[in-house]
């Protein structure tokens, strides 16, 4: 077979409209998930003991595969620097780098570093983000309520600091609250209603304060929910209300409205219904 032209490669690798492009994306997703699976199996000591070499080989196979993909992406990118600097460009590089780096660090040496490198390959999962494109409604909602949520977390930070310190005083190291940061960790565990139970108040007073913390968390969990719910509700309403009557120019019509509900004029439907149907 003759080597495909740069443009063809581009439409296949970067594009998602053409059948070839879709097949390529699908193949890539499968490869990513497989490489992640290899990483999972590799982390289970029992399995590594038995299939270590095999997993090692697979790992290198995937690394080479993604290296080639990265190289080709650079080769056929319209603007190479722009791609390499882009979010996905960095991710694509980070997805292959650790394996190469791991070679230069003797496995016997600092264990954490090696483990870290081995696990950084997990970043390959971020390659999937490319294919989650319905996410933007959610992201828009989150983004629009960004400041409110920041304020919320700001007050939450003040709350957990106060309650954590309070329990550090009341319970003290002898009951497991060995430091203020740890007590704040406990307060976060409690106010988010996670409640591991590895650290729990023992004194009646401490338990009383803990109860207040829980009830507070129970009540304020409503706040972010309320913010985002209202936000999403509006997003959805907007998705629905973006039709304007040609005569009275009023909005807020249902997607299936044929006549303006305010002035009775006929409305054009096609586009909106299309937009709405998917």
Binding to a second copy in span 106-145, by CB under 8 A: 110-113, 115-117, 119-120, 122-123, 125-126, 128-132, 134-135, 137-138, 141-142
Angle, alpha carbons 146-147-150 (nearest 5°): 90
- Which of 11/203 has CB closer to a second copy? 203
Dist CA 97 CA 85 (whole Å): 15
**Which of the residues 244 through 273 are near a second copy (CB under 8 A)?**
244, 249-264, 266, 269, 273
CA atoms within 13 A on the CB side of 134: 1
Identify the CA nearest to 66 among candidates 16, 9, 27, 15. Answer: 27
Dist CA 36 CA 42 (whole Å):
10
Hey, which residues between 24 and 43 contact a second copy (CB under 8 A)?
36, 39-40, 43
The least CB distance from residue 247 to a second copy, in Å, is 11
Dist CA 218 CA 277 (whole Å): 39
User: Contacts with a second copy in 41-80 (CB under 8 A)?
Assistant: 43-45
β-sheet bridge partners, residue 266: 259
CB 268 to a second copy: min, Å: 10
Q: What is the DSSP string of 95-135?
A: TTHHHHHHHHS-TTS-HHHHHHHHHHGGGGGGGGGGG--TT
Nearest distance in Å: CB 115, a second copy = 5
| Residues 155 to 194 in contact with a second copy, rule: CB under 8 A | 155-156, 158, 161-162, 165-166, 168-169, 172-173, 178-182, 184-185, 188-190, 192-194
Residue 168 beta carbon to a second copy: minimum distance, rounded to whole angstroms = 6
Q: Shortest approach of a second copy to residue 90 CB, angstroms?
A: 15
Q: Does 151 bind a second copy (CB under 8 A)?
A: yes
Quote the CA–CA distance of 235 and 95 in Å, as a whole number: 35
Q: Is 274 in the site for a second copy (CB under 8 A)?
A: no
222 near a second copy, rule: CB under 8 A = yes
């Amino acid at each position: 077979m003759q080597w495909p032209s740069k443009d063809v490669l581009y439409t296949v690798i970067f594009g998602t409209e053409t059948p070839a492009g879709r097949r390529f994306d699908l193949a890539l997703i499968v490869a990513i998930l497989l490489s992640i699976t290899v990483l999972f199996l590799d982390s289970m000591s029992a399995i590594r003991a038995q299939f270590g070499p095999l997993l090692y080989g697979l790992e290198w196979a995937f690394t080479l595969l993604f290296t080639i993909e990265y190289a080709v992406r650079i080769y056929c990118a319209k603007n190479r620097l722009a791609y390499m600097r882009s979010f996905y460009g960095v991710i694509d590089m980070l997805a292959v780098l650790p394996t190469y780096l791991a070679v230069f660090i003797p496995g016997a040496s600092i264990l954490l570093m090696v483990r870290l490198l081995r696990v950084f390959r997990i970043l390959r999962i971020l390659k999937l983000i490319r294919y989650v494109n319905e996410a933007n409604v959610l992201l828009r909602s989150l983004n629009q309520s960004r400041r409110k949520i920041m304020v919320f977390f700001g007050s939450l930070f003040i709350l957990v600091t106060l309650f954590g310190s309070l329990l550090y005083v009341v319970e003290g190291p002898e009951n497991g609250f060995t430091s203020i940061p740890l007590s704040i960790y406990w307060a976060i565990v409690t106010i988010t209603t996670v409640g591991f139970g590895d650290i729990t108040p023992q004194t009646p007073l401490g338990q009383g304060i803990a109860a207040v913390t829980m009830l507070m968390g129970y009540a304020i969990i409503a706040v972010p929910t309320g913010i985002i719910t209202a936000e999403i509700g509006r997003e959805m309403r907007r998705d629905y209300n973006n039709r304007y009557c040609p005569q009275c120019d009023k909005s807020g019509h249902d997607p299936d409205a044929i006549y303006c509900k305010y002035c009775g004029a006929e409305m054009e439907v096609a586009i909106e219904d299309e937009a709405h149907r998917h």
